[in-house]
Amino acid sequence: MSSPDDHTLHAARYWPWVLLRALPAAAVAVFITFSADHSTVLGFIMFGVLALASGIVVALGAVLALEAGVVRWCFLAQGAIGVVAGIVGLAFSGAGIGFLIFLLSGYAALTGFLELYSGLRSRGRLDSARDWLFAGGLTVLFAVAVLLVPADYSQPFTGPDEVERALTASIVLVGLLGAYGAILGVYLVIAGLSLKWANRTVAAPAAESGS
Protein backbone atom coordinates (compact mmCIF):
# COMPACT_ATOMS: atom_id res chain seq x y z
CA MET A 1 0.00 0.00 0.00
CA SER A 2 1.43 3.39 -0.98
CA SER A 3 1.30 6.51 1.15
CA PRO A 4 -0.13 9.92 0.13
CA ASP A 5 3.46 11.16 -0.11
CA ASP A 6 4.20 8.51 -2.76
CA HIS A 7 1.22 9.66 -4.84
CA THR A 8 2.22 13.31 -4.48
CA LEU A 9 5.83 12.65 -5.45
CA HIS A 10 4.80 10.60 -8.49
CA ALA A 11 2.31 13.24 -9.66
CA ALA A 12 4.82 16.07 -9.21
CA ARG A 13 7.50 14.26 -11.21
CA TYR A 14 5.40 12.66 -13.92
CA TRP A 15 2.70 15.09 -15.06
CA PRO A 16 4.95 17.17 -17.37
CA TRP A 17 5.93 14.02 -19.28
CA VAL A 18 2.28 13.13 -19.79
CA LEU A 19 1.65 16.52 -21.38
CA LEU A 20 4.80 16.23 -23.51
CA ARG A 21 3.62 12.85 -24.76
CA ALA A 22 0.32 14.43 -25.83
CA LEU A 23 2.06 16.90 -28.18
CA PRO A 24 3.13 14.54 -31.01
CA ALA A 25 -0.18 12.68 -30.88
CA ALA A 26 -2.16 15.91 -31.18
CA ALA A 27 0.14 17.34 -33.86
CA VAL A 28 -0.19 14.23 -36.04
CA ALA A 29 -3.97 14.23 -35.60
CA VAL A 30 -4.26 17.88 -36.65
CA PHE A 31 -1.97 17.44 -39.66
CA ILE A 32 -3.89 14.40 -40.91
CA THR A 33 -7.23 16.11 -40.38
CA PHE A 34 -6.30 19.07 -42.56
CA SER A 35 -4.35 17.11 -45.17
CA ALA A 36 -5.98 16.12 -48.44
CA ASP A 37 -3.27 13.49 -48.92
CA HIS A 38 -4.04 10.18 -47.19
CA SER A 39 -1.49 8.15 -49.13
CA THR A 40 0.67 5.33 -47.83
CA VAL A 41 3.69 7.66 -47.84
CA LEU A 42 1.92 10.11 -45.55
CA GLY A 43 0.91 7.21 -43.30
CA PHE A 44 4.52 6.12 -42.90
CA ILE A 45 5.73 9.67 -42.24
CA MET A 46 3.01 10.53 -39.72
CA PHE A 47 3.46 7.22 -37.93
CA GLY A 48 7.23 7.66 -37.91
CA VAL A 49 6.95 11.11 -36.34
CA LEU A 50 4.42 9.92 -33.74
CA ALA A 51 6.29 6.75 -32.78
CA LEU A 52 9.74 8.37 -32.67
CA ALA A 53 8.71 11.46 -30.69
CA SER A 54 6.49 9.48 -28.32
CA GLY A 55 9.19 6.87 -27.82
CA ILE A 56 11.75 9.48 -26.82
CA VAL A 57 9.34 11.17 -24.38
CA VAL A 58 8.21 7.86 -22.85
CA ALA A 59 11.78 6.66 -22.35
CA LEU A 60 12.98 9.95 -20.85
CA GLY A 61 9.94 10.11 -18.59
CA ALA A 62 10.65 6.59 -17.37
CA VAL A 63 14.26 7.42 -16.53
CA LEU A 64 13.63 10.81 -14.94
CA ALA A 65 10.21 10.43 -13.30
CA LEU A 66 9.52 6.76 -12.49
CA GLU A 67 11.00 4.75 -9.66
CA ALA A 68 13.34 1.88 -10.48
CA GLY A 69 11.48 -1.37 -11.01
CA VAL A 70 9.46 -3.43 -13.47
CA VAL A 71 7.21 -0.55 -14.55
CA ARG A 72 10.17 1.63 -15.43
CA TRP A 73 11.64 -1.17 -17.52
CA CYS A 74 8.31 -1.66 -19.28
CA PHE A 75 8.23 2.00 -20.27
CA LEU A 76 11.87 1.92 -21.32
CA ALA A 77 11.05 -1.03 -23.58
CA GLN A 78 7.97 0.81 -24.84
CA GLY A 79 10.08 3.87 -25.63
CA ALA A 80 12.75 1.81 -27.39
CA ILE A 81 10.13 0.09 -29.54
CA GLY A 82 8.71 3.49 -30.44
CA VAL A 83 12.08 4.90 -31.45
CA VAL A 84 12.97 1.88 -33.59
CA ALA A 85 9.52 1.70 -35.21
CA GLY A 86 9.54 5.45 -35.87
CA ILE A 87 12.92 5.32 -37.56
CA VAL A 88 11.79 2.35 -39.67
CA GLY A 89 8.62 4.18 -40.67
CA LEU A 90 10.52 7.26 -41.79
CA ALA A 91 13.27 5.28 -43.51
CA PHE A 92 10.88 3.03 -45.45
CA SER A 93 8.17 5.56 -46.30
CA GLY A 94 8.15 4.27 -49.87
CA ALA A 95 7.19 0.72 -48.87
CA GLY A 96 3.82 -0.77 -49.66
CA ILE A 97 0.52 -0.89 -47.81
CA GLY A 98 1.22 -4.39 -46.46
CA PHE A 99 4.32 -3.22 -44.62
CA LEU A 100 2.44 -0.20 -43.23
CA ILE A 101 -0.20 -2.52 -41.78
CA PHE A 102 2.51 -4.75 -40.30
CA LEU A 103 4.39 -1.80 -38.80
CA LEU A 104 1.33 -0.06 -37.33
CA SER A 105 -0.21 -3.20 -35.86
CA GLY A 106 3.09 -4.58 -34.53
CA TYR A 107 4.02 -1.31 -32.83
CA ALA A 108 0.54 -0.81 -31.37
CA ALA A 109 0.23 -4.38 -30.08
CA LEU A 110 3.64 -4.42 -28.39
CA THR A 111 3.48 -0.97 -26.80
CA GLY A 112 -0.20 -1.29 -25.94
CA PHE A 113 0.22 -4.53 -24.01
CA LEU A 114 3.31 -3.17 -22.23
CA GLU A 115 1.35 -0.12 -21.08
CA LEU A 116 -1.63 -2.25 -20.07
CA TYR A 117 0.68 -4.39 -17.96
CA SER A 118 2.17 -1.30 -16.32
CA GLY A 119 -1.31 -0.03 -15.49
CA LEU A 120 -2.44 -3.36 -14.04
CA ARG A 121 0.73 -3.70 -11.98
CA SER A 122 0.43 -0.14 -10.61
CA ARG A 123 -3.25 -0.17 -9.61
CA GLY A 124 -3.70 1.19 -6.12
CA ARG A 125 -0.11 2.43 -5.97
CA LEU A 126 0.17 5.17 -8.60
CA ASP A 127 -2.39 7.69 -9.84
CA SER A 128 -1.18 7.14 -13.40
CA ALA A 129 -2.32 3.50 -13.40
CA ARG A 130 -5.79 4.30 -14.77
CA ASP A 131 -4.26 6.48 -17.49
CA TRP A 132 -1.86 3.73 -18.51
CA LEU A 133 -4.77 1.28 -18.64
CA PHE A 134 -6.74 3.59 -20.92
CA ALA A 135 -3.81 4.44 -23.20
CA GLY A 136 -2.71 0.81 -23.38
CA GLY A 137 -6.22 -0.41 -24.12
CA LEU A 138 -6.72 2.26 -26.78
CA THR A 139 -3.43 1.32 -28.44
CA VAL A 140 -4.32 -2.38 -28.49
CA LEU A 141 -7.71 -1.52 -30.03
CA PHE A 142 -5.87 0.53 -32.66
CA ALA A 143 -3.75 -2.53 -33.48
CA VAL A 144 -6.88 -4.66 -33.92
CA ALA A 145 -8.56 -2.02 -36.10
CA VAL A 146 -5.48 -1.82 -38.35
CA LEU A 147 -5.37 -5.59 -38.76
CA LEU A 148 -9.02 -5.59 -39.86
CA VAL A 149 -8.23 -3.39 -42.89
CA PRO A 150 -7.59 -5.53 -46.01
CA ALA A 151 -4.46 -4.44 -47.86
CA ASP A 152 -6.32 -4.49 -51.18
CA TYR A 153 -9.41 -2.67 -49.92
CA SER A 154 -10.88 -0.26 -52.46
CA GLN A 155 -14.46 0.94 -52.42
CA PRO A 156 -15.52 3.26 -55.28
CA PHE A 157 -18.03 6.01 -54.58
CA THR A 158 -19.36 9.18 -56.14
CA GLY A 159 -18.90 12.38 -54.14
CA PRO A 160 -21.35 15.29 -53.82
CA ASP A 161 -19.59 16.93 -56.77
CA GLU A 162 -20.46 13.91 -58.93
CA VAL A 163 -16.78 12.96 -59.22
CA GLU A 164 -15.97 9.27 -58.90
CA ARG A 165 -13.49 8.44 -56.15
CA ALA A 166 -12.34 5.40 -54.18
CA LEU A 167 -12.00 4.72 -50.48
CA THR A 168 -8.75 2.76 -50.25
CA ALA A 169 -6.85 0.94 -47.52
CA SER A 170 -4.33 3.77 -47.21
CA ILE A 171 -7.10 6.33 -46.66
CA VAL A 172 -8.66 4.16 -43.95
CA LEU A 173 -5.32 3.50 -42.23
CA VAL A 174 -4.25 7.14 -42.22
CA GLY A 175 -7.69 8.09 -40.94
CA LEU A 176 -7.42 5.54 -38.14
CA LEU A 177 -3.98 6.89 -37.24
CA GLY A 178 -5.37 10.42 -37.08
CA ALA A 179 -8.31 9.33 -34.92
CA TYR A 180 -5.97 7.41 -32.59
CA GLY A 181 -3.70 10.44 -32.25
CA ALA A 182 -6.64 12.74 -31.53
CA ILE A 183 -8.16 10.54 -28.82
CA LEU A 184 -4.80 9.79 -27.21
CA GLY A 185 -3.66 13.42 -27.36
CA VAL A 186 -6.82 14.80 -25.75
CA TYR A 187 -6.82 12.12 -23.07
CA LEU A 188 -3.15 12.69 -22.20
CA VAL A 189 -3.71 16.43 -21.82
CA ILE A 190 -6.57 15.75 -19.40
CA ALA A 191 -4.53 13.09 -17.59
CA GLY A 192 -1.47 15.34 -17.25
CA LEU A 193 -3.46 18.28 -15.91
CA SER A 194 -5.36 15.98 -13.54
CA LEU A 195 -2.06 14.73 -12.13
CA LYS A 196 -0.84 18.30 -11.71
CA TRP A 197 -4.01 19.44 -9.94
CA ALA A 198 -4.17 16.29 -7.80
CA ASN A 199 -0.63 17.01 -6.66
CA ARG A 200 -1.64 20.52 -5.57
CA THR A 201 -4.82 19.25 -3.88
CA VAL A 202 -2.90 16.71 -1.81
CA ALA A 203 0.02 19.03 -1.09
CA ALA A 204 -2.15 21.92 0.20
CA PRO A 205 -3.68 20.10 3.21
CA ALA A 206 -0.27 18.64 4.00
CA ALA A 207 1.27 22.11 4.08
CA GLU A 208 -1.55 23.41 6.30
CA SER A 209 -1.18 20.56 8.76
CA GLY A 210 2.56 21.16 8.91
CA SER A 211 2.21 24.86 9.65
Question: Is residue 156 included in any domain, yes or no?
Answer: yes
Q: Taking the model in full, what pTM does it have?
A: 0.88
Task: Rounding to the nearest 10 degrees, give the CA dihedral for residues 177, 181, 88, 133.
Answer: -110
Q: What pLDDT is attached to residue 159?
A: 56
Question: Is residue 55 included in any domain, yes or no?
Answer: yes
Question: Is residue 51 included in any domain, yes or no?
Answer: yes
Question: Is residue 210 included in any domain, yes or no?
Answer: no
Question: Is residue 122 included in any domain, yes or no?
Answer: yes
d(CA 160, CA 168): 18
Question: Is residue 208 included in any domain, yes or no?
Answer: no
CA distances from 192 to 128, 152, 153, 162, 176 (A): 9, 40, 38, 46, 24
What are the tens digits of pLDDT across the range 87-111? Answer: 999 999 999 999 999 999 999 999 9
Q: What secondary structure does DSSP assign to 106-156, as a single string?
A: HHHHHHHHHHHHHHHHHTTT-TTHHHHHHHHHHHHHHHHHHHTS-TT-EEE
Question: Is residue 187 included in any domain, yes or no?
Answer: yes
For residue 185, the enclosing domain spans 4-203
Question: Is residue 211 included in any domain, yes or no?
Answer: no
Instruction: Provide the number of structural domains found in the chain.
Output: 1
